[in-house]
């Protein structure tokens, strides 16, 4: 579970794989940055340390040349140690903490300290080598390593959290869409079950007795199934549809749709009152048929029984008004989204009809608006270009 999002096994594997790749690549990148930063800081520390030790060696040399007191260089508590050696590389005076010295290098480091060696061309008081040891440089390097390592761990944890939240943000809409689609599939199965069952019962009845009313029920059920199929097929294959624009009378088109839905309207004792003036438009007939059919189908579906649906076409404005459940103001902005249903429970529908309507309106530059009041009805207004 990702903060309330239930994941299936393959989704958990995908999430873990994403986090592993994201975090490991982030750690690798941060590690490379840390490594180059460490190398740069290390070179800076070496340079500063070298200058400090060389300066100390010069001070010791000057003191020796002036035969001044050099006891100050041999303070046991001082972080920088001094060693004076003869030509046989044996200590004359030294407080160095390291015994194994490399007289062949001027400036070098070992695991505990950094060293600077000055060889005197003219020995002073049998002193031919001045060795300076700085034990603080290793402590400084260790602190630098710890700081970089600590920051790398903190950054890795931060990147892991960022990856987690990113994956959560990515999964949430996908899971919501999947849940919505699952509900749609369940609703579609339920929606289709009613007309299919009615068809089977009517067919069995007609085997024994012929009844014109039963034939009308069968015709109504067939049309319900056909409209459901057309809506689903349009969403599934609309990218493959080839639109053919032609001139036709919109009023005749609407009359045909009203006639097509008369059995379904009669089932709820709904009367469709149509006042249509002729309007010639140049659009794809199939698309406009889906548009009109979906609006009339919704009007019938969401109307109360024994009511009237008013359809008017004046100039270039089409209005379809029902006396049904209505839609509150908050949900009026959502109904054109796919699979979104905001009607009362039990009214049926998939939530795809108005998505189709909005898509056709946008494609044909048709302005669509909605006025609705809960328990009083809805009015869809279409302004054709």
The partner residues of 284 in beta bridges, in order of sequence, read 245
Question: What is the rounded CA–CA span in Å between residue 112 and residue 52?
Answer: 17
Return the closest-CA partner of residue 191 out of 164, 161, 225, 166: 225
Is the distance from CB of 58 to CB of 191 less than 8 angstroms? Answer: no
The per-residue DSSP string of 81-92 comes to EEEEE-TTS-EE
pLDDT value at position 381?
A: 93
Is the distance from CB of 98 to CB of 81 less than 8 angstroms? Answer: no
- Domain 210-383 class, CATH top level: alpha beta
- pLDDT tens figures, 322-355: 998 888 877 777 776 654 555 444 444 434 567 7
Is the distance from CB of 383 to CB of 370 less than 8 angstroms? Answer: no
Half-sphere CA count of 351, side-chain side, radius 13 A: 21
Sorted by where each begins, the domain ranges of the chain are: 9-142, 210-383
Question: What is the rounded CA–CA span in Å between residue 82 and residue 57?
Answer: 8
Is the distance from CB of 291 to CB of 328 less than 8 angstroms? Answer: no
Report pTM: 0.47
Q: What is the mean pLDDT of residues 347-375?
A: 77
Instruction: Using pLDDT thresholds of 50, 70 and 90, give the confidence band for residue 239.
Output: very low
Question: What is the rounded CA–CA span in Å between residue 147 and residue 74?
Answer: 32
Looking at the chain, the whole-number percentage of residues with pLDDT higher than 70 is 73
CB count in 10 Å sphere of residue 184: 19
Question: What is the rounded CA–CA span in Å between residue 349 and residue 335?
Answer: 12
pLDDT value at position 348?
A: 43
Instruction: Using pLDDT thresholds of 50, 70 and 90, give the confidence band for residue 1.
Output: very low
- pLDDT tens figures, 158-197: 888 887 777 777 777 766 666 666 666 666 655 666 666 6
pLDDT value at position 185?
A: 63
Instruction: Using pLDDT thresholds of 50, 70 and 90, give the confidence band for residue 30.
Output: confident
The phi, psi pair for 326, rounded to 5°, reads 75, 175
Distances from the Cα of 105 to the Cα of 110, 119, 315, angstroms? 12, 10, 101
Question: What is the rounded CA–CA span in Å between residue 378 and residue 296?
Answer: 12
Check pLDDT > 80 for residue 358: yes
Over 313-359, what HEC string results?
Answer: EECCEEEEECCECCCCCCHHHCCCCCCCCCCCCCCCCCCCHHHHHHH
Question: What is the rounded CA–CA span in Å between residue 331 and residue 353?
Answer: 16
- pLDDT tens figures, 68-84: 888 888 887 788 889 99
The mean predicted confidence, pLDDT, of the chain is 79
Question: What is the rounded CA–CA span in Å between residue 148 and residue 142?
Answer: 10
Return the closest-CA partner of residue 87 out of 133, 125, 132: 125
């Amino acid at each position: 579970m990702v903060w309330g999002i239930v994941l299936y096994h393959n989704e958990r594997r995908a999430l873990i794989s994403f986090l592993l790749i994201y975090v490991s690549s982030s750690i690798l990148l941060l590690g490379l940055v840390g490594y180059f930063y460490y190398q740069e800081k290390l070179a800076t520390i070496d340079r500063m340390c070298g200058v400090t030790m060389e300066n100390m060696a010069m001070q010791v040399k000057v003191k020796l040349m002036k035969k001044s007191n050099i006891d100050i260089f041999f303070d046991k508590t001082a972080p920088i140690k001094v060693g004076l050696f003869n030509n046989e590389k044996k200590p004359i005076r030294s407080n160095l903490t390291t015994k194994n010295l490399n007289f062949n290098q001027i400036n070098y480091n070992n695991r505990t300290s950094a060293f600077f060696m000055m060889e005197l061309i003219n020995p002073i008081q049998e002193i031919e080598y001045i060795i300076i040891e700085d034990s603080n440089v290793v402590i400084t390097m260790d602190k630098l390593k710890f700081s970089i390592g600590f920051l790398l761990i903190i950054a890795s944890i931060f990147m892991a959290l960022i990856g987690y939240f990113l994956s959560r943000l990515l999964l949430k809409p996908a899971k919501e869409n999947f849940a919505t689609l699952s509900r749609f599939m369940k609703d579609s199965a339920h929606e289709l079950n009613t007309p299919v069952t009615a068809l089977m019962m009517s067919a069995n009845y007609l085997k024994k007795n012929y009844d014109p009313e039963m034939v009308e029920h069968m015709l109504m059920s067939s049309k319900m199934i056909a409209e459901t199929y057309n809506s689903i097929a349009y969403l599934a294959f609309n990218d493959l549809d080839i639109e053919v624009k032609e001139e036709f009378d919109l009023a005749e088109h609407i009359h045909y749709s009203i006639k097509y839905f008369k059995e379904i309207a009669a089932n709820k004792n709904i009367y469709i009152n149509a006042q249509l003036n002729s309007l010639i438009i140049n659009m794809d007939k199939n698309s406009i048929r889906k548009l009109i059919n979906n609006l009339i189908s919704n009007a019938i579906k969401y109307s109360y029984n024994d009511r009237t649906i008013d359809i008017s076409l004046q100039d270039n404005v089409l209005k379809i008004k029902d006396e049904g459940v209505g839609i509150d103001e908050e949900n009026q902005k959502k109904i054109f989204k796919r699979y979104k249903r905001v009607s009362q429970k039990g009214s049926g529908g998939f939530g795809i009809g108005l998505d189709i309507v909005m898509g056709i309106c946008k494609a044909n530059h048709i302005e669509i608006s909605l006025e609705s009041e809960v328990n009083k009805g809805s009015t869809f207004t279409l302004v054709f270009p």
